[in-house]
Amino acid sequence: MPQPQLLTNARLAMPVAPVDGRGAVVIGGDRILWVGPEDALPADYTSLARQDMEGRLITPALIDCHTHLVHGGNRAREFEMRLEGASYEDIARAGGGIVSTVEATRNASGDDLLAQALPRLDALLAEGATTIEVKSGYGLDRETELRMLRVARALGRARPVRLRTTFLGAHAVPKGQDGDRYIDEICIPTLQAAHDEGLVDAVDGFCEGIAFSPAQIARVFDAARRLDLPVKLHAEQLSHQGGCQLAARYRALSVDHVEYATEADARALAAAGTVAVLLPGAFYFLREAQLPPIAAFRAHGVPMALGTDCNPGSSPLTSLLLAMNMACTLFRMTPDEALRAVTIHAARALGLTDCGILAAGKRADLAVWNVETVAELAYRIGFNPLHARIFGGRAC
Ligand code: DI6
Ligand code: FE
């Protein structure tokens, strides 16, 4: 076992409890051995060579807990149509939207999809992310859903990153098909096939007027339960459909978007231990006006996470730092909340307990920033102050 590494003269954002003054981190292999104020460094470690962080801020490495990184093509033309007055839902109902990306994704080979996704992944890593979730959901047939998930796994081998895959077969009703038949005859059997191939870490759905009803999503969740897979849900994004209550009944890891969630939903989420994943990129890009009920989430103790929702239609965003800035400017989250939202709470939204926090025994996934405070991290727009990204104890 190589010598542990000792980082000193750092500012630490744990991010739950702050450390005042100079902080130090001891890393052994891929784990944090010790973290705390430098003057409390245990005697065992004082003789290690010091790597002087020169007062930089160290946070847990960032976690993007909601992306659709793997997809074919882009929807810049729909962006122009929306600028001309069409709504996101109008475009979806007219055969554009998710199903147009489905066509582009079906027509792309695995190699094409990988090549298109890598620059997006690299953009996230360049800002200090080490754990990324990737969803399927632009195949809506067995072959393409499996291809998307295999590409997601391949992304995890192509870069030093921890990749978590989510099966999102219930994302949209394929053109010309009946929603109920699609769920029972394609979506659920495809979930089984993807699980058999070891491609699924969690199961998601889109509960919305333009997608699936709570009753349809419940059938997908029952299938997930039979496979012992955790669930999450795109819920209450464009309207209130009852997705949060459904997700809470299934003890979902997270409900995502949730602009139209209510106080009663917040109570149910808190009781179920479900994380609310806020996606300010989609809120911004679709020029939504309905704000997620942040005050109710705070009051009831619902953990809030943030993701990019990186996707071609509603959030072509590949920056968690910008998501943090947007969460503060648009949703009035505090910078400390925004940091917890892309670290410890994002980990929880993925069912992970070994990362997202600076604590002994956790993974040594750290980000070192050329800033002094958490507020400084959240307030800049379009500037990347990352000094170093440490993944499993290695700077890379
Ligand atoms: N909600 C979203 O924001 C993405 N999926 C979803 O269910 C949008 C997907 C798209 O427009 O391509
Ligand atoms: Fe999404």
Integer Cα distance of 102 and 192 in angstroms: 21
Ligand 1 pocket member 206 (CB < 6 A): yes
- For residue 112, what are the contacts with CB-CB under 8 A and spacing of at least 6? 72
Q: Dihedrals φ, ψ of 189, to 5°? A: -60, -35
Query: What is residue 386's predicted lDDT score, i.e. its pLDDT?
Result: 98
Beta bridge partners of 394: 391
Ligand 1 pocket member 297 (CB < 6 A): no
Ligand 1 pocket member 303 (CB < 6 A): no
- Residue-wise pLDDT for 201-225, tens only, equals 999 999 999 999 999 999 999 999 9
Query: What is residue 361's predicted lDDT score, i.e. its pLDDT?
Result: 98
The ligand 1 atom at the shortest distance from the C-alpha of residue 168 is 7
Q: Under a CB-based contact definition with an 8 Å cutoff, are residues 116 and 74 in contact?
A: no
Ligand 1 pocket member 136 (CB < 6 A): no
Scanning the chain, the segments in alpha helix (DSSP H) are 76-83, 88-93, 98-106, 110-125, 142-158, 179-181, 188-196, 214-226, 243-249, 263-272, 280-285, 294-300, 320-331, 335-341, 344-349, 374-379
Q: Dihedrals φ, ψ of 12, to 5°? A: -115, 130
Integer Cα distance of 56 and 77 in angstroms: 42
Q: Over the chain, what is the mean pLDDT?
A: 97
The ligand 1 atom at the shortest distance from the C-alpha of residue 71 is 12
Nearest ligand to the C-alpha of residue 235? 1
Integer Cα distance of 219 and 135 in angstroms: 19
pTM above threshold 0.95: yes
Q: What torsion do the CA atoms of 207, 88, 65, 260 make, to the nearest 10 degrees?
A: -50
DSSP 49: P
pLDDT band at 136 (very low <50, low <70, confident <90, very high): very high
DSSP 185: I
- Give me the percent of the chain exceeding a pLDDT of 90: 95
- Residue-wise pLDDT for 317-343, tens only, equals 999 999 999 999 999 999 999 999 999
Query: What is residue 79's predicted lDDT score, i.e. its pLDDT?
Result: 95
